[in-house]
Structures are given as structure tokens and as C-alpha cells.
Amino acid sequence: MESPQEKLRSWKVEATNRMGIAHLSLAHQSIDVPGVLIFGSPWERFGRYNHYLVIRDDLKTKIIPAHAGELVPGSTEDLVHVLKHFQPKLQRPNAPMTLELDPTNLCFSKDCGGHCFSASYRSLAPKAHIPTETMVDLIQVFSRNGGRILRFDGGGDPLSHPDVRNGFLPELAHQLGLKTTILTAGDAIQTTNLERIGAANCYLRVSLNAAKDETRQLFHGNKSRVSTLFQQIESFAGWLRQNNPSLPIGSTFLISHLNFKEVLDCAIRARDSGINHFSVRRVLGPATLRPFFTNIQLIELEELLQRVRELDTDQFRVFAPWRTIPEEDLNPSKKDFSASTCWQSSFKTIIEPTPENGYKTQLCGRYRGNGIGQKMQMEPLSESHDGKRWVKDWQDSFSTYPISRPQLPQTCLSCIDRGFIRLMDQIIDFINPPEHDFVILHLNRNTKYTEE
């Protein structure tokens, strides 16, 4: 396939930075674009752009807010590939671009300071898991139908599943050409085959949530020590430097009244142990899950976050929320944002275990556990024990699910995926696939919109 640079050359378009400003030479005109073009591989670009500059084959351009976190561990290249295979009549790709696969409800942490969105449904079936042979079918069918990005996620902790922990399933996904990540609380990291996972090019992202062992134990409700976590990560980072130096390690810090005073110390320890990405997260969801901060605490927290932001370098990329911590989730049914359809559930999906060790396919992360504990509940798209049929069931859901994808943004009471939905709404409206060929460049504009 032609690279974006080759395509631009064939369209006689030149895209450069001149004196710190993005510059486009199109056929009959030259334009300065506010911002700086970001080049490089997907991980080099990670966290360095906050907008897409889309150039169509008729040389019309459009700037759209975008960031790598919407695709991680995939990249714009995956999005472009999937858009090229978009089925306009059906308003979907053949299979989701991204599968968030929750292998198990089991988690060695208790409820993360009372803020865990999955605690209420996990407690109903805490040992539910998807058997390995079903997981193999799910992953193979996903890859065969054009899926690109696989996130071992939860729900529970994916490292509680033995065939994620020993690296077998990440390795299988890698052999099938998928980009993978494991999002973990890290409690099981000592018994995890990190080298096999690293060799499978799988991006590990660990929830740190503390700088001190006592705070980590209070927050996670177990005996797991953050100091052990840092030691294991340091050793893994050393292994990666020797064996797979382009693969970064990620981390998150979920901000709560219990741990916020340690966010800066945690970031420094993360940096010093070889972690490459540090992302501070707000607790999302209904008020019952959210932490309460006094005004004085919020001021102290903002000062700490500013110092965390100042740690940002190319080797240690920092992402801190630009929304205020208490800000509520958006309510699309009240028009907090609008979109022609729910592109999130058209390009991505969730699979999670059922109590009988089958699996359910869900609309989006908000409806994990059918949305128990959230503002709104929603039935799964499908449910089965047969891992080979899920993509077909997912395709059928576009005509059989009682609420259509275009109705969802007028129906849901709380949504955490506005960024991706708005991004896709604007891209698809602009390129009207397959009408226009297009190239996407990455732009860093001087705006506050820089979250991961």
C-alpha cells in the first residue's frame, strides 16, 4: 500500500514545518496551518499530537481534534486501514477495529478505594472467566474478519487469567498481526511472564495509584506492594531496552482523596523505574463511585498535577486531565454532545465473561456488566459459549438490537467516549467513504486538548 508521503507526493502536496508552523504546499496554493506537524512512528507520535489534519484527494483539508489514547495500542494507520474497508451501506466495518476482551472477572484488588466501576457486577460472579479455547476462537475470528487492536482489559484483572499471565494469548494475537495491550492492576506481576509478553510486542499498562506501600494497600484493599511493582517494572524495562527497545511501558494513576497527595512522588518513581507513559485518570461514572474533594484539596491537587506535567519529556510522557476532577460525565441524551450515530459501538466492542463461563458482547465500556451500578443499564448485543460466532452476531446487532446505533447518542444518559465518536463523525462526514481517498497528518496545536 502507498505510504501517506508517497500519496502526498503523487498529489503534489508538500507538508512541512517552517519556522515552527505547519505548512502545506497544495497544487495552486500554500497555506500555513496553526500548529506543528508531528512525524515519526506511532509510539514516537504518542501523546505528541492533539489534532488530525485530514487532506482529501481533491485537496480540501480539515482539522479535527484527535489523540492517540483513542486508539492505543493501535494508531492512525489502523484507523485508516479500517476506514478503507468501511461498508457505507451498513455504516460499519466488517468487524470492530478494536476489541476490549475481558478474560475474567477475577481481580486480586478489592474495589480500588471504592471507585471500581466493575465491583458491583464482579461481585455477582467473581470467578467468571472465558475458557482459553473460547478465547482462542474469539481472537482468531476477530483477526480473520479484519480486527486490528486487541486490549486485554477488565472488568477483572486480565493477568488473573493464566493464559494471559503466561503470555500465551498475547503471543497468539501477535502472531495473527494484532496490536495488543494488557491493562492491569499489577497485583500478579511477580508471576507474569513479562518477557514473553514483551517479545509479543504487547504494551503493558499498569495501575500504580500510590507512591507508598501503605497507600497502595489501602487503595487496592490487598497486600500488594507498590515497591514490588516498581522493582518488577524496572527489571522488565531493562529487558525491553535490550530486546524490544521500541516498546514502551505505560502506567495510570486513578485520582482519589485517598491517594492524590502521592501523585507527584508516584510519577517520579514511575519515571525512575523506566516507565515511559504516566497517565493521571479521573474517576468517571455516577456520584456514588466518585471521590469527594474539598476546595482546598482541589487547589493542592492542581498544584501537584502542574508539577507532574512539568516532568514530561520524550522518554517520559505525562498525561494529566484537562477537565476539572469533579466534572460529571457527558449526557448525550441531554445534548452534551451530538453525533449522527454511536461510532464507538460501530468501531469498537467489549467482550466479557458470563457466570457460566460463556461470554457477552457489549455495546461499549459504559455497559460492561450490562451497566450495573451506572446511570443506565443496557442488554448485551449477544451472548454465547461459541467463540467462533461473535463477529457475525455483532454484525447482526446493527439490524436486530432494539436501539439502533444512530439512536444511541440520543438515548444514553452518560458517555465517556465522546472524543472518538466526534472524531469519527467528522472524519466520515468529510471523506464520505469510499468517495474520497485521503491522508491523515498529525498536528500539535497549542490548546488544552492534550489528554492521552
Q: Binding ligand SF4 by CB under 6 A: which of 55, 150, 283, 415? A: 415
When the beta carbons of 126 and 406 are compared against ligand SF4, the nearer one is 406
66 scored as a contact of ligand SF4 (CB under 6 A): no
Least CB distance to ligand SF4 at residue 438 (A): 24
> In degrees to the nearest 10, what's the CA dihedral of 233, 236, 241, 243?
-160
Residue type (1 letter), 250: G
Return the number of the residue (274 or 409) whose C-beta is nearest ligand SF4: 409
CB of 414 to ligand SF4, least distance (A): 7
Identify which of residues 194 and 412 has a Cβ nearer to ligand SF4 in the complex. 412
Contacting ligand SF4 (CB under 6 A), which of 342, 350, 424, 440? Answer: 342
- Nearest distance, CB of residue 191 and ligand SF4, angstroms: 34
Q: Round to whole Å and give the CA distance between 237 and 245.
A: 9
Q: How far is the CB of 148 from ligand SF4 (least distance, A)?
A: 19
Is 440 a binder of ligand SF4 (CB under 6 A)?
Answer: no
Kindly tell me which residue out of 72, 112, 363, 391 binds ligand SF4, with binding defined by CB under 6 A: 363
Shortest gap between Cβ of 404 and ligand SF4 (angstroms)?
11
Q: For residues 390-409, which are near ligand SF4 according to CB under 6 A?
A: 408-409
233 binds ligand SF4 per the rule CB under 6 A: no
Compare residues 64 and 408 and give the one whose CB is closer to ligand SF4: 408
CB of 146 to ligand SF4, least distance (A): 21
Q: Which of 155, 332, 369, 380 binds ligand SF4 (CB under 6 A)?
A: 332
Q: Are strands 51-56 and 61-65 parallel, antiparallel or unpaired?
A: antiparallel
Positions in 151-190 near ligand SF4 (CB under 6 A): none
From the list 263, 260, 258, the residue with the least C-alpha distance to 307 is 263
* CB neighbourhood size of 311 (10 A): 15
CB of 341 to ligand SF4, least distance (A): 9
First and final CA of the chain: distance in angstroms?
A: 29
In the numeric block, which cell numbers belong to residue 412?
444514553
Which range of residues in 89-97, 266-274, 320-328, 358-366 is near ligand SF4 by CB under 6 A? 358-366
Q: Which stretch binds ligand SF4 (CB under 6 A): 82-90, 211-219, 266-274, 360-368?
A: 360-368
Interface with ligand SF4 by CB under 6 A: which range of 276-284, 303-311, 411-419, 428-436?
A: 411-419
Which range of residues in 66-74, 177-185, 216-224, 337-345 is near ligand SF4 by CB under 6 A?
A: 337-345
User: Which of 37, 107, 412, 440 is the binder for ligand SF4 (CB under 6 A)?
Assistant: 412
Answer for the pair 49, 66: CB distance below 8 angstroms, yes or no: yes
Q: Is 423 in the site for ligand SF4 (CB under 6 A)?
A: no
If binding means CB under 6 A, how many residues of this protein chain bind ligand SF4? 12
| Binding of residue 417 to ligand SF4 (CB under 6 A) | yes
| 345: contact with ligand SF4 by CB under 6 A | yes
Spell out, one character per residue from 76 to 115, where the chain touches ligand SF4: x when CB under 6 A holds, - when not: ----------------------------------------
CB of 368 vs ligand SF4, minimal distance in Å: 10
What is the 3-class SS of the chain, one letter each residue? CCCHHHHHHHCCCEEEEECCEEEEECCCCEEEECCEEECCCHHHHCCCCCEEEEEECCCCEEEEECCHHHCCCCCHHHHHHHHHCCECCCCECCCCCEEEECCECCCCCCCHHHCCCCHHHHCCCCCCECCHHHHHHHHHHHHHCCCCEEEECCCCCHHHCHHHHCCHHHHHHHHCCCEEEEEECCCCHHHCCHHHHHHCCCEEEEECCCCCHHHHHHHHCCCCCHHHHHHHHHHHHHHHHHHCCCCCCEEEEECCCCCHHHHHHHHHHHHHCCCCEEEEECCCCCHHHCCCCCHHHHHHHHHHHHHHHCCCCCCCEEECCCCCCCCCCECHHHCCCCCCCCCHHHHEEEEEECCCCCEEEECCHHHHHHHCCCCCCCCCCEEECCCCCHHHHHHHHHHHCCCCCCCHHHHCCCECCHHHHHHHHHHHHHHCCCCCCEEEEEEECCCCCCCC
Residue selected from 366, 368, 374, 382 as contacting ligand SF4 according to rule CB under 6 A: 366
Q: Which is nearer to ligand SF4, 53 or 363 (CB)?
A: 363
Dist. CA 12–CA 17, nearest whole Å: 17
Sole binder of ligand SF4 in the list 118, 160, 259, 344 (CB under 6 A): 344
Of 273, 271, 275, 282, nearest to 311 (Cα)?
A: 271
CB of 339 to ligand SF4, least distance (A): 8
Q: State the residues that interact with ligand SF4 by CB under 6 A.
A: 332, 342, 344-345, 363-364, 366, 408-409, 412, 415, 417
